[in-house]
Copies of this chain bind each other. A is one copy, B any other.
Amino acid sequence: MAVSKLSFLVSLLVLSYVAEAQLGQLGASRRKFGAQSRCRIDRLNALRPSRRTESEAGVTEYYDESEDQLECAGVSVLRARIEPNGLYLPSYSNSPSLVYVLRGRAVLGAVIPGCPETFQDLQQESEESYRGERGRREEYGSQQFRDEHQRIHHIRQGDVIAVPAGVPRWCYNDGETPVEVIVVIDVKNNANQLDPTLRHFMLAGRQQESSGRYRRGEGEQVGSGNILSGFDADLLAEAIGVNQETVRKLQSRNDERGEIVRVESQLRILRPSRTEEREESGERGYRRESKERGERWEDKVVTSGNGFDEAICSMKMKENIAEPMKADVYKPNGGRITFLNSQKLPILKYIQMSANRGVLHRNAILAPHWNINAHAIVYVTSGRARMQVVSNEGQRAFDGELHRGQLIVVPQNFAVVVQSRSEGFSWISFQTNDNAMNTPIVGKTSALRGMPVDVLVNAYRGLSREEARRVKFNRGQEMTIFPSQGSRREYE
């Protein structure tokens, strides 16, 4: 949604590699589904969720996928709230997605195909830790029980998490406040070879009926079962090697809890404590630790010897972009922006998306600019701002005030300007390119700055050479964010 010199240096790092051998990559390998007709984006609206599904321990809200701007951008958007001790059931979808944590803390697991179960409990001695709820020692067959599973991630407010298509993930709120996330699913991504609509595959539970003014296909999503429920029980029992009763539980045909369920006691997961995690700036010791009451799971990250799986299996899936210290653009009186592209988080190259997080102080202006190679899906995280979006016809496609919780698409190449109101403004923007680039119209490294004064003088009828210089240079070294007029000199 904005540009910075810093982000460009990063971009250029990518580009310099790319320039050597595979420049075609850049803008050229993203989307597959054609627009059947012209994008109807002459009039954009600030969107709110139109459909809502209540679950036992949370709520999922969907934005209307058939809204013109979302259809043009080729994305599906949802917002979910997971209550404390709530578990978002394992599921996957047909397109890659970016998740942004609006608030709270949680544990996230994603099962990458073929990757080893590197979180293993190898201890034999600390038998106490294996005692179940009823106090009896738990064994599996003749062998003492040991659990093992794939890597899990601690996520928290400000994290962006990349989830490839077809990869199942679950999420558990181990904090004391609700977790809220916003998720943008890129249904026109090349990774999706099905139709350009969100298809959600549940591994457990079953989908509840949703309420709201929007319901596609009349009840189509009403009570979808999980994928196991579609198999014949006998066959599934034989395949898994368990009895029919267990299979009936797996098929969850009568489970009415929805996709976010309440964990009865507390989820016991093998994992490093948060304090063991690599220190992240701005993160204080986390008092959730004390709650774990001396339960000590040994954390052994086991990697296979061949080194092959390390590249993908240990690939970083998340990055925090809300911490002020990570800002790429920073103006003391104006605000800040943090960009996240595939150079910072390489998995984004895989899913061909990127994100940025911005904060504008009171009355600050986000420089007028356009996105060169991506749509931007902008979600307002706090405050208020006036936004204007201009089409190729020179028409105002949007001119309005944005509030917290609203969503808007800024289409590729459309010009946009934002001015925050007195309470300031902050957003998270998702882009449909792993290395989204934009061009500011004024300020440093802008379109107008890049042209000779004499071109401006002749391009704009009646513009004097002096005026042209002001247009080019009045913003001086400022770029991207312009602090409010109060802190600046008067214009001539």
Cβ-defined contact, B38 with A195, below 8 A? yes
Q: How far is the CA of A375 from the CA of B191 in the complex (A)?
A: 11
Nearest B-chain residue to A246, judged by Cβ: B467
**A249 in contact with B460 given A96-B27, A147-B453 (CB within 8 Å):** yes
Q: Given that A191-B27, A270-B452 are known contacts, is A467 also in contact with B261, CB under 8 Å in the complex?
A: no
Which single residue of chain B is at the shortest CB-CB distance from A37? B195
Q: How many A residues touch B, CB cutoff 8 Å?
A: 198
A30 nearest CB across to chain B (Å): 5
A434 with B204, Cβ < 8 A, contacts A15-B312, A232-B399, A412-B193 known? no
**Which 10 pairs, one residue from A and one from B, show the smallest C-beta to C-beta distance?**
A225-B394, A230-B390, A8-B114, A27-B191, A33-B34, A166-B372, A16-B311, A241-B474, A111-B450, A204-B459
Q: Tell me which residues across on chain B come within 8 A of A96, comparing CB atoms.
A: 27
| A413: Cβ under 8 A from any B Cβ | yes
Q: A392-B224, A449-B149, A450-B150 are in contact. Are A239 and B368 (CB under 8 A)?
A: yes
In the complex, A330 has a CB within 8 A of chain B:
no
Measured CB to CB, the closest approach of chain B to A199, in angstroms, equals: 4
Bound CA span A312–B437, Å:
13
A370-392, CB under 8 A of B: which get 1 and which 0? 11111100000000001010111
**Chain B residues in 8 Å Cβ range of A191:** 26-28, 373
A97 to B: closest C-beta gap in Å: 13
Q: Which residues of B contact A459 (CB under 8 A)?
A: 87, 89-90, 170, 203-205, 261
Residues of B within 8 A of A463 (CB): 246, 249-250
| Alpha-carbon distance between A113 and B2 when the two chains are bound, in angstroms | 12
CB <8 Å contact, B16 and A462: no
Q: Give every chain B residue within 8 A of A263 (Cβ-Cβ).
A: 454, 458
Which parts of A237-276 form the interface with B (CB within 8 Å)?
237-243, 246, 249-250, 252, 254-255, 257, 261, 263-264, 267-270
Q: Are B451 and A413 within 8 A (Cβ)?
A: no
Interface-side segment among A44-52, A277-285, A317-325, A484-492: A484-492
Q: Which of A1-36 contact B (CB under 8 A)?
A: 3, 5, 7-9, 11-13, 15-36
Among the stretches A76-84, A98-106, A175-183, A344-352, the one at the interface with B is A344-352
